[in-house]
Structure 1
Amino acid sequence: MTDHLLEVRNLSVRFHTAAGIVDAVRNVSWHLDRGETLAILGESGSGKSVSASAIMNLIDIPPGEITSGEILFDGNDLLQQTAEERRQVNGKRIAMIFQDPLSHLNPVYPVGWQIAETMRVHGKDPAEANARALDLVRRVGLPNPQQALEKYPHQFSGGQRQRIMIAMALALKPDILIADEPTTALDVTVQAEVLALLEELQAETGMGLLLITHDLGVVAETADRVVVMNRGEIVETGPASEVYHNPRDPYTRRLIAAAPGKGEMRDGNSQGKPLLEMKGVEKAFGSFQALKGVDLTVFPGETVAIVGESGSGKSTLVKTLVRLIEPTAGQATWNGRDLFAMSLKEMRPVRRDIQMVFQDPTQSLNPRMTIFEVISEAWRIHKDVVPRAQWRTRVAELLTQVGLLPDHARRYPHQFSGGQRQRIAIARALALEPKLIVCDEAVSALDVSIQAQVIALLDRLRRDLGIAFIFIAHDLPVVRDFADHVLVMQSGAVVEKGTTREIFENPKSLYTKTLLASGLDPDPEVQAKRRAERKELVDA
């Protein structure tokens, strides 16, 4: 028997791949108590999600194989139970929410049906299950609960879909909730709301919360204890505050050092004539006004960050800039000409000067093309940039410039990590020697050390090549370290703008103050003060 609610002992998991055996988890041991929040912290490939998958019996066997260990729940080893016995535990006693709710919600069924299904599968009466689904939707804070039950997943925002996943997980009042990167890529205010909701529900039910994350800020906000994993092994464990302030392992120290938001802020870098001036930009989708008279100015070699929640108009603004969507009104002056007045044929040579790097390189890189083909594709369109005979040499130079190897040109996108794929996307953007690169949430889903490397790369390119950046982000510590100027957008309008130092040290609008207070700091003591400040702003 065990005194802990859940105890993992000497767990080892390996995968048989074409390249050989991969030991994903090696002799891992930890425990979770009732009412406790345990965070498993680590970067991609550390083994944290594999450990959680073993608890829920979600490892595909083969190619996966659990080679040793015990997972004790209420004194019973889950690894020794039959499939039928595991079904009585999974969902009912131990539940899980995932990083990308859209991938785990069925697109052809209303969300109310899906929430109730969890209960019907475990023997609840349909009428009782439907009533409980309505109560859960109301409890997790979705607007118009009765109507929400009849909607489909695509009709909700990312934060709302995560709330639906939480409702499904809590339907049967589990003893343990496993949250695998539950706030990655969410806006700062939505992230704060989701974490506060989990904490509130945990206080009500007394459940144990196992939080899988790569975000030190999430650990500081929620965790009682933290387990740090690297390359399948536990390298450090202890109370969250102790691990942050007195890390013993070199890997933990590197993670903490890589956390953004501690660098010197900039006071602006506006020199010479503006590279881009957008004035009075508006965009309407039917009766909905997505942009309301937005002004934006970018100077050569300058980084302008645009921050705000989903639906604030950030991405819509830059899509009008590159004419992916047409504006309703306004001007965008580039080299003395209005981009909005140009024909698509006239826009074509301008596009080489304005490039974009998107949030998800997996979706923006063609999986059927080699990296050489991905980078050189632009030269097939803009034939005057690089002579064909120099393509291979230039691709090798670009890969080296972004910290990759020339030999990588022969590989395909799926053969790289997320951080490496984002570097390839940056190399592709650099291929046309642009004057301005638009980064649309380009680092939001990356591990903290990879994120730091990509930001350092972008900053070096800005200094060495004089490239200007428009940087859309919800990660305020990254903005603090990287940007010269900041625009704060809400509901399609600019509510505040200024130098990075002005915005972060002396915000004027209540919305900006709320955004800053919602950001997560990796220091648990600083985060506790920020949480109190956020509560005061909400109460006000």
Structure 2
Amino acid sequence: MADHLLEVRDLSVEFHTAVGVVKAVRNISYHLDRGETLAILGESGSGKSVSSSAIMNLIDMPPGRISSGEILLDGVDLLPMPAQERRKVNGRRIAMIFQDPLSHLNPVYTVGWQIREALTTHGTDAAKAASEALRLLTRVGIPDPERSLDKYPHEFSGGQRQRVMIAMALALRPDLLIADEPTTALDVTVQAEVLALLEELQRETGMAVLIITHDLGVVAEIADRVVVMEKGVLVEAGTVREVYKNPQHPYTKKLIAAAPGKGEMHVPAARAEPVLSVRDVRKRYGSFEALKGLSFDLMPGETMAVVGESGSGKSTLARILLRLDEPDSGSALWKGRDLFTMSPTELYKLRRDLQMVFQDPTQSLNPRMTVYQLISEAWVIHSDILPKAKWRERVADLLVQVGLGPEHMGRYPHQFSGGQRQRIAIARALALEPQLIICDEAVSALDVSVQAQVIALLDRLRKEMGIAFIFIAHDLPVVRDFADHVMVMQKGNIVELGTVREVFDAPQQDYTRALLAAGLDPDPDVQAAHRAARLQRAS
């Protein structure tokens, strides 16, 4: 037997591009044992996903090339293995779940068909595959699994789709599961459920887990050891507690310092005349009542955070306030004028004051437009804002503000990571210097240091320009650092509304307390105490 289940030795990966060779991974080495969880921690562009793709043989070659190294599974090097042999390894010995399950599940086949295909491809007969697919959906907690087998991916919530991906990955009982940012876009309670599910399945099967993340809280919750990557290089490795409590590398120290939830809470200014006054807003989709009479006020330069699980009505509220959907009843007074009764001409003039950053930049950014075109499009529509001669300079300034650079202007959205695309979407919203920005999970996919940078930028704009924010988020530590007031939503209702200190320090509702308890702390000792308390409550 080999010393380790997985051993990566001196792995280097490079990509040949129009501007030269990009060395994405440079001579990294690490190992993983059976029953162990290893986290690869780093920001976008650090090479963590590329290195895991190399393990699964998922790098497009060309333009990619594994220029050096070995990837040993039970002592056998996977890199020179013939394609026919490698197909027997992927799925059966090594499986992978991805960050965005909607992009990796086939939209034209039912989830039952897709799980059965994973089994029959590796020799399982059809009858056994059918019963196993039902067992797997039941095991990962999908409601009504018999009927769910015949549903399509779009019919599930984000958390449920991730559970379906886990079911597919575990179909052949692999020795190693690679999880690439499996909880990034999930609500805190769903995130906790998915991580708990992975831990349960690991105990049952004895599989090793390689989890790729930029979230220190996820590392503290689930990992035994952690390796830290920066710009393709492995800069630090050790147990989770060693690395967090006594980091040696400046980059690791920077990541830990950027973790949200440790700063001073905002003390809101005295409330005066609201810039936005929402009263009794209701919205129904068929028999489903998405909003059940919401009322709140937003002051100029104030940040109102909206938190709650998927299906609570957060995004519906955002779309209605921007008239992307129409309400059934209620009013929303913007500086005394009802947004819901404005004509299209009046709304057109108001669009420059009200902007939105959507949750998924892949869908909100036009794939045929360059970054320069995407950001400057605002000035094409509202031509009185900025002379064309100054567009390029202003685009460059906005890109720098959100952590990118002028050299990115000529690229297209698909040439960026998910976090980088979200930065472009934020720069696009800032181009019109609006008075209200609605952020729908705008920083959930960002690395911790970039997240801290963008939050600091938004906070500075709030102070300097008086911009108000409606900040929809599932990341409670970010809410704690950024918000003035917090609105907690559940099933279309506002169940709690107060200052950030009131809600975080003295929550009044059980639902709010459950949300806060599900949050992850980057300190492994604190998170261990939270986990013990959670288990005690459950028992």
Say whether the fold is shared (TM-score over 0.5). yes
1:431-469 Cα deviation digits (max 9, x unpaired):
333211111111110111111111111011111111111
TM-score norm. by structure 1 comes to 0.95
Q: Which residue of 2 aligns with 1:87?
A: 87
TM-score norm. by structure 2 comes to 0.95
Q: The residue matched to 1:2 in structure 2 has which SS?
A: coil
Pairing of 1:177-256 with structure 2 (within 5 A):
177-256=177-256
- CA apart distance, 1:390: 5.7
Q: The residue matched to 2:39 in structure 1 has which SS?
A: strand
Counterpart CA distance in 2 for 1:40 and 1:371 is 30
Change (3 A) 1:419 1:146: closer
Whichever residue aligns with residue 74 of structure 2, its letter is: D
Contiguous gaps of at least 5 residues in structure 1:
none
Asked whether the 8 Å contact 1:244–1:523 carries over to 2, the reply is: yes
Counterpart CA distance in 2 for 1:206 and 1:408 is 44
Q: The residue matched to 2:79 in structure 1 has which SS?
A: helix
Whichever residue aligns with residue 209 of structure 2, its letter is: L
Whichever residue aligns with residue 429 of structure 1, its letter is: A
Q: Which residue of 2 aligns with 1:49?
A: 49
Q: Which residue of 2 aligns with 1:437?
A: 437
Whichever residue aligns with residue 78 of structure 2, its letter is: L
Q: Which residue of 2 aligns with 1:144?
A: 144
Pairing of 1:507-518 with structure 2 (within 5 A):
507-518=507-518
- CA apart distance, 1:138: 0.5
Aligned length in residues? 539
2:496 aligned with 1:496: yes
Pairing of 1:512-527 with structure 2 (within 5 A):
512-527=512-527
Counterpart CA distance in 1 for 2:410 and 2:115 is 46
Counterpart CA distance in 2 for 1:166 and 1:344 is 46
Whichever residue aligns with residue 374 of structure 2, its letter is: V
Whichever residue aligns with residue 427 of structure 1, its letter is: A
Q: Which residue of 1 aligns with 2:277?
A: 277
Whichever residue aligns with residue 493 of structure 1, its letter is: N
Q: The residue matched to 1:461 in structure 2 has which SS?
A: helix
Change (3 A) 1:103 1:346: same
Q: Which residue of 2 aligns with 1:13?
A: 13
Counterpart CA distance in 2 for 1:129 and 1:405 is 50
Counterpart CA distance in 1 for 2:522 and 2:343 is 48
Q: Which residue of 2 aligns with 1:289?
A: 289
- CA apart distance, 1:424: 3.7
Q: Which residue of 1 aligns with 2:317?
A: 317
Q: Which residue of 1 aligns with 2:66?
A: 66
Counterpart CA distance in 2 for 1:462 and 1:216 is 27
Whichever residue aligns with residue 100 of structure 1, its letter is: D
- CA apart distance, 1:2: 2.2
Change (3 A) 1:415 1:206: closer
Asked whether the 8 Å contact 1:281–1:294 carries over to 2, the reply is: yes
Change (3 A) 1:416 1:92: closer
RMSD of aligned alpha carbons: 2.0
2:339 aligned with 1:339: yes
Q: Percent identical across equivalent pairs? A: 72
- CA apart distance, 1:415: 5.6
Counterpart CA distance in 2 for 1:42 and 1:274 is 41
- CA apart distance, 1:391: 4.9
Pairing of 1:366-515 with structure 2 (within 5 A):
366-386=366-386, 391=391, 395=395, 398=398, 412-414=412-414, 418-515=418-515
Counterpart CA distance in 1 for 2:403 and 2:94 is 42
Asked whether the 8 Å contact 1:518–1:531 carries over to 2, the reply is: no
- CA apart distance, 1:399: 5.1
1:115-171 Cα deviation digits (max 9, x unpaired):
111111111111011111111110000011110111111111111111111111111
Counterpart CA distance in 2 for 1:21 and 1:354 is 42
Counterpart CA distance in 2 for 1:152 and 1:159 is 14
Q: Which residue of 1 aligns with 2:154?
A: 154
Asked whether the 8 Å contact 1:270–1:302 carries over to 2, the reply is: no
Asked whether the 8 Å contact 1:514–1:534 carries over to 2, the reply is: no
Asked whether the 8 Å contact 1:266–1:484 carries over to 2, the reply is: yes
Q: The residue matched to 1:438 in structure 2 has which SS?
A: strand
- CA apart distance, 1:388: 5.3
Change (3 A) 1:19 1:482: same
Counterpart CA distance in 1 for 2:391 and 2:24 is 39
- CA apart distance, 1:46: 1.2
Counterpart CA distance in 2 for 1:183 and 1:474 is 11
Asked whether the 8 Å contact 2:306–2:472 carries over to 1, the reply is: yes
